[in-house]
Chains A and B, each alone.
Chain A
Amino acid sequence: MARKAVATKVKTQPNVPELTNEQELEAYREMLLIRRFEEKAGQMYGMGLIGGFCHLYIGQEAVVTGITMASEKGKDAQITGYRDHGHMLVMGLDPKGVMAELTGRSGGLSRGKGGSMHMFSNEHRFYGGNGIVGAQASLGTGLAFASKYKGDGSVSLAYFGDGAANQGQVYESFNMAKLWKLPVVFIIENNKYAMGTSIERSSATTDFSQRGASFDIPGEQVDGMDVRMVYDAAKRAIEHARSGNGPYILEMLTYRYRGHSMSDPAKYRSKDEVTKYRQERDPIEQVKARLLETGFATEESLKTLESEIRAIVTEAADFATNDPEPDAAELWTDITIEA
């Protein structure tokens, strides 16, 4: 099957924005945590410890990392679809709680009742973790509505994929967001495949940054494999939304290395395509190379960091393996709130 060339066009600034060394290191750490966490989740799925669906974020780490770094943590709201583990880790949710939710244990963020696709945190302003493709676009617009209604100055960051970008409610949301100048940034994580259907086979136009054109919503196509580009574009978009100019669209050109979910046969794309991304565009390797080049980090210091992250992930996995399943009485709790 013929595939589109790997090279992606990028319409953002020709000059690559710089991050400080400290920011680079932070980005490296966050992305590595996601990568190692997801690898472990994949392994635990293989061992039968995680059930049902499990959508890994491997390859797309720069997107949520760059955006979150550009946001105000604890103030700006984030909401995404079902490929959500990375979002939670970067937003500061406890890796143990995330992993224990994946294994369906009582210490999981949703007490084992949500699973991989349904985790939330009012404290961190993370609103899921949504399993219905495209629903988060409307919900995220609602978070922005609440922000404007209360006048709290927060911005809503609503992520969805290239697949969801063809859902009707996304455009209903674009319309209202622009009409009411709601502070929302729509982040389209274009990883080229809606499950197993390539964007060329599913979308009449594949420049998703322009999907808001008929609502006059500005959009940018961004190299989502380069955390510097993501951060820079996100700063611009968030500032636009926060200053009362309404919504903004960021199309993140990214790539997932793993299948759509764990049971993905991956027959719809070539091995070469995946390999090329991993070898030439990997978001983590890019930062690592720069850190070593500037001398801000050494092989040795990065190794130490790596083992710190491995320890976090191992601790999360151990917790998620040994934590008990929810008490049977949990079956009947949290259905409604007693008034």
Chain B
Amino acid sequence: MPQILMPALSPTMEEGKLSRWLVKVGDKVKSGDVLAEIETDKATMEVESVDEGVVTELLIAEGTEAVKVNTPIALVLAEGETAAAAPAAKTAPEPSEAPVVVAERAAEAAPAAASVPAAPKFEAQSDPDLPAGVEMVEMTVRQALNEAMAEELRRDKDVFVMGEEVAEYQGAYKVTQNLLQEFGPERIIDTPITEHGFAGLAVGAAFAGLKPIVEFMTWNFAMQAIDQIINSAAKQLYMSGGQVHAPMVFRGPNGVASRVGAQHSQDYSAWYSHVPGLTVIAPYSAADAKGLLKAAIRSPNPVVFLENEILYGSTGLVPQVEDFVLPIGKARIARKGADVTIVSFSMGMRYATQATEKLVAAGIDVELIDLRTLRPLDSDTVIESVKKTGRLVTVEEGWPQGGIGSELSARVMEQAFDYLDAPVIRVTGKDVPMPYAANLEKLALPNVDEVIAAVNAVTYRS
């Protein structure tokens, strides 16, 4: 290309000053040689030659201001090339015509922007049918999670567990109890206290084909690692055009513990549910904890699995089937009803369940939905319910702004506006860092009375 064009130095540069020529007509130049200096309001830059040749003509005088990007500024002819081979140089376009590329690109961008293709719709699968007369065993959420991991570790040798105190100590919350004994130190790995580092290490191991389960002692500490979770794990498949992915689970206790203060009591549900590329699961019951953790470990996608410390010891019935795996992305209707829909997940389900019992006793036919998975969010189940009841109350421990309840409100407003008989009410944690004092902590959390009050409000009872 004999013409040297005024280059753009940044995505936003449109013109600049040609401050100095460093070559003159007749000079031989090779690639890498600096031809000129140009200046913008941001920077002074050098224009380098890409091709070899002789400087035949300088088309723009030194010191010229406001030279538009892509204006020909010089003619460099290669060996054997003549000026005739470059007719464009003789009719150098006016600066006003110069930014051809920019204009073309803008024109190309316009129709594309006008027709954004629709997002594919997520179709949730239903829970598997249990065989008739299946034995139901009572166990804690902790045991359910432990069984899920043990079964998947037995099933797939690429699965391993890493985290602080997961092995010798048997788990800070005993969720990994006895795994070291069965699977050994190569697969149940105590890490140093180094969340950012081991989260990144696990993502790298997943890129190379392993299926790590990363335990964070609590999700509060995962703030150190959130860059690797989002920037490395969640975005990898997309930015590699589908080539490299991170099949892995990040898990640990999330949400409010008890009297541990602001830095150790926080619900990250909404944070992670915001991120495309992640799957986010927050189970409440023991059965869901087991079936969904097994599904998470088998998932080819990075899964954020949010447990709850207070729920670890709560018990529930878990079906004793060979391989109990639940579908990711499917909400569970915990109670069918016709008067009002309450939607919650994880610890919020405890408040919601207790409130439902009282409300039902008072004659209100509550439909209670446990989301279980927060991304992909099972809108359909919620929308269908609201179309029936006309009323929605959401319950979560997290902060109100940008919360799961906010998202549900928006979706219901968009998809079932005409069915609503009352505004949606969000019952959430209060918009404050978690206080330590027992009375204040209690006030900061959502509670059963608030859920009942919200239901009374949307059903216009008082």
Where the two chains meet, the residues of A that have a C-beta atom closer than 8 Å to any C-beta of B are 35-36, 39-40, 42-43, 45-49, 51-52, 58, 77, 79, 108-115, 118-122, 127-128, 130-132, 135, 137-147, 149-150, 156, 168-169, 171-173, 175-176, 179, 257, 259, 262-267, 278, 325, 328-329, 331-337, 339
User: Is there contact, CB below 8 Å, between B112 and A109?
Assistant: no
Residues of B within 8 A of A113 (CB): 238-239, 241
Residues of A within 8 A of B32 (CB): 35, 39, 58, 257, 278
Scan B288-330; emit 1 where CB is below 8 A from any A CB, else 0.
0000000100111100000000000000000000000000100
Q: Which of B165-173, B206-214, B424-432 contacts A (4 or more CB under 8 A)?
A: B206-214
How far apart are the CA atoms of A90 and B304 in the complex, in Å? 36
User: Is there contact, CB below 8 Å, between B299 and A132?
Assistant: no
Q: How many A-B residue pairs have CB under 8 A?
A: 219
How far apart are the CA atoms of A282 and B32 in the complex, in Å? 12
How far apart are the CA atoms of A45 and B102 in the complex, in Å? 12
Residues of A within 8 A of B239 (CB): 110, 113-115, 118
Give the residue of B44, B160, B198, B301 whose beta carbon is less than 8 angstroms from that of A176.
B198
User: Is there contact, CB below 8 Å, between B207 and A142?
Assistant: yes
Question: Is B237 positioned at the interface, with any CB of A under 8 Å from its CB?
Answer: yes
How far apart are the CA atoms of A127 and B208 in the complex, in Å? 9
How far apart are the CA atoms of A156 and B208 in the complex, in Å? 11
Residues of B within 8 A of A142 (CB): 200-208
In the assembled complex, 15 residue pairs joining A and B whose CB atoms fall closer than 8 Å, in A order, are A35-B31, A39-B48, A40-B50, A46-B5, A110-B239, A110-B241, A111-B242, A118-B239, A121-B243, A139-B228, A141-B200, A149-B186, A263-B10, A263-B42, A337-B300
User: Is there contact, CB below 8 Å, between A143 and B205?
Assistant: yes
Q: Which of B114-122, B382-390, B450-458 contacts A (4 or more CB under 8 A)?
A: B114-122
Give the residue of B99, B112, B194, B238 whose beta carbon is less than 8 angstroms from that of A335.
B238
Rounded to whole Å, the gap between the CB of A163 and the closest CB of chain B is: 16
How far apart are the CA atoms of A118 and B10 in the complex, in Å? 19
How far apart are the CA atoms of A137 and B194 in the complex, in Å? 14
How far apart are the CA atoms of A45 and B47 in the complex, in Å? 12
User: Is there contact, CB below 8 Å, between B160 and A132?
Assistant: no
Residues of B within 8 A of A109 (CB): 241, 243
Which of A51, A120, A267 is packed against the most chain B CB atoms within 10 Å?
A120
How far apart are the CA atoms of A256 and B349 in the complex, in Å? 57
Which of A110, A169, A179 is packed against the most chain B CB atoms within 10 Å?
A169
Give the residue of B192, B200, B276, B299 whose beta carbon is less than 8 angstroms from that of A135.
B200
- Closest A residue to B99 by beta carbon equals A48
